[in-house]
Structure 1
């Protein structure tokens, strides 16, 4: 021990206050542990990126955009929509209230559970100890019995598009805009780029989405990407796939397209090409562990890095999703508290708040085939859904991926209204080992969007009602 180093003793230390960290702290406290949670922004950062500058603010912006756009769409249904105006300043005040309420809610839960929250950057210095660097005071040494790392991720910044917060923005910058640009380009056609690009287009911004790969939403499935692309073009969004960005000169975004070099004049450039795990400044050498090539910490089903230290959330392999982090948090807290637990879900649903919404769970047909299953797909188009029609929607579908013969459900995808709310039925069915017959014989209420899953199951059984029999 260094002379003068007087460590504070901590029973269970949680590093990071996001959806993984604060859930881990609460779960550990419920198991009788004395918990200290440290976050670089302290109590103000509770809820993490998700609550403060990610999931919640983005969905607030999307709801605003959908409301404005839907009112215009209702004009042909007999509703006068003249005089709609958007005040982004007022929106930001309202959004701030939403974020503050959720942040305060997390703070209250931690306080009630007896969790101590401290502010500072934490780095490991030994296998059972680290240093909390505080902005307004000397560093504090903390020795822990157990530790859960939940430091999350941050937006990727491109060297060809240096972030300045004025012209070159990241997703957090967009969600804080007090004034909308006249034109913008989103670099990245994944879920973040699509959500932001669609919302801004609905608010009247002239939008272009640039994606280096051949289709939008890479990895989700070509059918979803095709439907989304069609809707974006209906919204007036220019979609440029197979196109790379080579730089920006302050007025024009320079592109490398399949037809050669090109340039795009836009007011704002939004970089949404992914996120990078926050594992590069944790002092991991002291634990004798190192991130992999993607910067992720490899963990087993017990989420342990060492006998004392667990890692969860965006810093571990798998989808970087808040609900995955929260689920892992329970496992880590239980394992470090001496209880048997493993993280081994059959499925982790992913949702995209695009237009229409996209939700997927379980295996894709390709993944299922590679895993050795003899696979089939059963699809039901939303153009045949009465409820979708009343919502003014005819694009989209629901489909099941299932094993031939047994009909066991392996995966599902929904593209359409409320897909993000509906996908959990499919996830529960897969986790419970259900088959097509189980879903088809459950009586779904009419008229609802949930009927699409039952109708797709009937298609797979060869007994369709509202679409023709497959030949």
Structure 2
């Protein structure tokens, strides 16, 4: 295992999923305390934010998990080399680093190599600067300070999650998005409750259909040129967070010395078994395409290992194969860990409308859920996309607390090609939000007790 960073774990553990969700946990607790005061008459003193303590807790969490990975590698007798690798040819890597393991030989030969170099933050050239007042998600997760004002460029999941953290910790956060809505890849009905709650948190400082022009850093702030529906303006912020996406780490790998190729976006081209155009080289995770998700990378890894162990692409099918469901594609869930959370899996309405796929909707409004009423979160909803002829479930979307936990059950249903009727045969505990999954199917079939809808003919 060749890894340039001194700790194992990659983007997810070191500067992505884990630290961001740890900080989001803090933000969610602060929000819950505010809710208790507003809606339940339970008053607490205003929170005192100790950034040093928060950073130490975050770093100790990362260190513990990274240490666990190192122990697992050792116990499984995996040779770990701290170095950067680049291909000399299809079966040889040139290694660069100070690891004693390569002191006598800076090359590594192999029969198969799996490229898992991940991705890095994308910063358009026009915004590139060494100013400490302009940061990416990497720097934002360091939590060096809470600025008085923060502009988040990008209304995708990274911008919304980190913007939520900084807002709950005391910053005056503004979000600017070039599209006409937040999270353009998600269904509108799922985004609507999140937009409303974020707008309350940010006092309406969400600017849609707005382009960001030049950034002019100064000694204590950044002047930002904005062009929106009402014309061009110049605003000043103490800090700017650029969160407009990520790019694959496919550069400087020496791929030109092999038969492996990349597409126009820089992703390494590979087939369904993760083989590139070079029979000795495979690629997994962010570096070989969207969605850039850790669990998608894990699924890729299983496919790649199965293919290598099968010794040929022709015999790889069936070795720890990932379920594909009715669509023939793996069902990869997406989760936005904001408040409320948004999660979806399988076919979305956005995709169905774009590609002309026929579907029917099964919707359960959380206002009918006793659990949602009890916790004061009735703005949520659970929906299924149903195939009209067979009534098989093609996709699921959820917005509300713990949507990311609930979507796992939906993935199983989609993978197993369940019908709406089959969704109603399992007994969910009451009162829980999980009841909304079967409840949506019951509404669709006209069988719901708590929601009246005539039965389908």
- Would the TM-score normalized by the shorter structure come out above 0.5? yes
Counterpart-to-counterpart distance in 2, 1:60 and 1:81: 22
* Corresponding residue number in structure 2 for 1:322: 294
Residue 72 (structure 1) aligned with residue 44 (structure 2): no
Is residue 288 of structure 1 aligned with residue 259 of structure 2? yes
Whole-angstrom distance in 2 between the partners of 1:366 and 1:352:
16
Aligned to 2:3: 39
CA distance in 2 between counterparts of 1:159 and 1:300 reads 32
Select 1:153's aligned residue among 105, 119, 124: 119
Matched, 1:54 2:12: no
CA distance in 1, matches of 2:441, 2:454: 13
- Counterparts of 1:174-185 in structure 2, within 5 Å, are 174-185=140-151
Q: In terms of mean alpha carbon deviation, does 194-203 or 106-115 score higher?
A: 194-203
Confirm whether residue 204 of structure 1 aligns to residue 170 of structure 2.
yes
How far the C-alpha of 1:349 sits from its partner, in A, is 0.3
Q: Map Cα deviations across residues 369-405 of structure 1 (whole Å, 9 max, x no partner).
A: 6667531011111122111122221222110000114
Render the CA deviation track for 1:316-356: whole Å, top value 9, x for unaligned: 12311000101111111121122624555431001000110
Q: Paired residue for 1:85? A: 48
Distance 1:165 1:436, change over 3 A: farther
Provide the secondary structure at the position in 2 that maps to 1:184: strand
| Counterpart check, 1:260 vs 2:263 | no
Which residue number in structure 1 is paired with residue 333 of structure 2? 349
After superposition, the Cα gap between the structure-2 partners of 1:248 and 1:455, relative to the gap in structure 1 and judged at 3 Å, is same
When normalised by structure 2's length, the TM-score is 0.91
Residue in structure 2 matched with residue 217 of structure 1 by the alignment: 183
Give the match's secondary structure for 1:116: coil
Structure 1 Cα separation of the partners of residues 446 and 440 of structure 2: 10
- Report the alpha carbon displacement of residue 279 of structure 1 after superposing the two structures with TM: 0.2
CA distance, structure 2, for counterparts of residue 207 and residue 386 of structure 1: 34
Alpha-carbon shift at residue 423 of structure 1 (Å): 0.0
Taking a change above 3 Å as real, the CA distance of residues 165 and 245 of structure 1, as seen in their structure-2 partners, is: same
Q: Which residue of 1 aligns with 2:309?
A: 337
Cα shift at 1:201:
1.4
Assess if the C-alpha contact under 8 Å between 1:129 and 1:142 holds in 2.
Answer: yes
RMSD (Å) for aligned C-alpha atoms:
1.8
CA apart distance, 1:225: 2.3
Kindly tell me: are residues 163 and 356 of structure 1, through their superposed partners in 2, closer, same or farther at Cα, counting changes over 3 Å?
Answer: farther
Task: Give the TM-score normalised by structure 1.
Answer: 0.88
- Aligned to 1:413, the other structure's residue is in SS state strand
- Distance change in 2, residues 1:163/1:58 (3 Å): farther
Does the 8 Å contact 1:365/1:377 carry over to 2? no
Aligned-residue offset at 1:422: 0.4
Gaps of 5+ in 1: 1-36
2:361 maps to 377
For residue 173 of structure 1, what is the aligned residue in structure 2? 139
Q: Residue 121 in 1 paired to residue 84 in 2?
A: yes
- Contact 2:358-2:388 at 8 Å conserved across structures: yes
Query: Secondary structure in 1 aligned to 2:244?
Result: coil
Question: Number of residue pairs matched?
Answer: 433
Specify the alignment match of 1:463 in structure 2. 447
User: Deviation digits for residues 288-323 of structure 1, max 9, x if unmatched?
Assistant: 222101111121111111221110000112311000
Query: In 2, are the aligned partners of 1:186 and 1:272 still within 8 Å (CA)?
Result: yes
SS at match of 2:178: coil
In structure 2, what is the equivalent of residue 141 of structure 1? 107
Q: Is the 8 A contact 1:313 1:321 kept in 2?
A: yes
Higher relative CO (Cα under 8 Å, sequence separation at least 6) belongs to: 1
Matched, 1:363 2:347: yes
Whether 1:419 and 2:403 are equivalent positions in the alignment is yes
Residues 401 and 411 in structure 1, CA contact (< 8 A), matched pair in contact too = yes
Of 194-203 and 461-470, deviating more is 461-470
Q: In the alignment, is residue 101 of structure 1 matched against residue 64 of structure 2?
A: yes
Deviates more, 1:413-422 or 1:220-229: 220-229
Q: Does 1:270 align with 2:241?
A: yes
Give the conservation status (yes or no) of the 8 Å contact 1:184–1:207.
yes
Contact 1:130–1:142 (8 Å) recurs in 2: yes
367-376 or 328-337, which deviates more:
367-376
Deviations along 1:387-432, one digit per CA (max 9) or x if unpaired, are 1122221222110000114210000000001000000111000000
Deviation at 1:83, TM superposition (A): 4.1
| 1:173–1:138 Cα change, 3 Å | farther
In structure 2, what is the Cα distance between the partners aligned to 1:244 and 1:467? 44
- How far off its partner does 1:469 sit? 1.6
Find the aligned partners of 1:369 and 1:115 in 2 and give their Cα distance. 47
Contact 2:20–2:141 (8 Å) recurs in 1: yes
In the alignment, structure 2 segments of 5+ residues that lack a partner are none
Q: 2: CA distance between counterparts of 1:83 and 1:216? A: 30
> What secondary structure is seen at the aligned counterpart in 2 of 1:449?
coil
